[in-house]
Structure 1
């Protein structure tokens, strides 16, 4: 889901951000909880589906070409949409044009409710919120300043090598296997994600061209990009622009990272298997060995 879609849904459903605060008083940031389909005003269901990329024809007959968006959906969503639409009837206009009508389609039918709940996230956290709903807003006196300025400057002056990153991940994997304390294991997993994300930010900034003849331009460009590389989606956009020939992948199991950062108690570790909830509160599982291998593979393939 894009930030524009989130913004449109927040406006349509009149949602308000809440602030997530840890037991120690540390502020993680804002989050927005979305209602389930049954809690949404029935008159708003068509608009919600429009925003989510599934503009179902609740009223009247439509041409087959008006369903051009249907093949663009992923397989699971497309299957739910077809189930929701049901069997169409074909009508012919006075001009001989064929139209499709879906007599069983309704905003409160079970299939429509399932489709909305499938597409709508239960919660969106700080890192994925539109800028207008963030808790950590930039300083209005210096919109280009970032809280991690010193750290990000360090990336360019003393970059960490890929071998160092791989060595740290391998060492943490060994420590993870050696301890039976799940609290420690969770901390190790979060540390691994932080290392990979930090190195990924470094990779983005190191690709920024230097302007030795115009230091002010160089500093301005770096300050602007510092804000972009903090966010995973915008960071990939930066690197894709600077390295169009390189396939920039997402960090593996990023939703596990979000679960560890925002609600670590929901993450369970047993017999080498990690269980967590994704953004839609659906349970997911990943083997610890598979996770470490995936992070190391990502580093070698994407950051090398």
Structure 2
């Protein structure tokens, strides 16, 4: 989908707790195998020992609003995305975030789509602003904390380490930020059982295992022949969203103005199997892998990548960036942004 002209990412922010866990220190302590840091593609991950995810989201949201100069009263819609426990069992974290940032006139709601939820929240916000010219701005937040007895950030999944933190992005029409050009989305719901396995439906959280054991459900998916199908579907989906987004943006894959392709903050094996072959075949742009000191931020990878691209001034005026991501279920997307010719 190509979004309306003049839609911009006014600001994108990553908020991380100060405390970290070093992958190599955990190897020295015998907690991790020697090859675990390289398999996850991380040096360390941020760890929140005090703040719950919605509290971190409020901090990220406030920072994004301040950086963009946006009045919270102008936020028409606030979308909060997450993949893991937000601190309460029967509650709306999106409303907490809206209250915390002062967006009292906003319509708050949550987005649930596993690790693609942040990208889907961005897409939903952009669609709203494209369709509703009276809506001045939107705020997207993501936040997760993978601590406690319910989730093992290092051993719960294959080839990935999960980092705590929050991200936020303000969408508006000032023209001062990155231009939000297009985003293509592709879903393969027949892959949903990768994170369900052959477990029966339970009546309460964490009934099947504590902590959550993603490896168990993936083993069941493998035994049922799912991984062979996924190995084919994944790259096909990445190709489809990449080419569709470029077409919507009016760009040739080899356009020299495409400066970089930001990849999900996953381990090298996943990235090299699913994303890099397609990127290398179709594009001459540089692949960006930005998660060595964050790990996988749940559904926050895309917004964190937007924040890094902006803060590091990776794009020259007129250049484009592509941002690829995916999430269990399964859904993939490609986002196209451009730094304006002049600011």
Whether TM-score is above 0.5 comes out as: no
* Max Rg structure: 1
Greater per-residue strand proportion:
2
Which structure shows the higher helix fraction? Answer: 1
Give TM-score, length-normalised by structure 2.
0.27
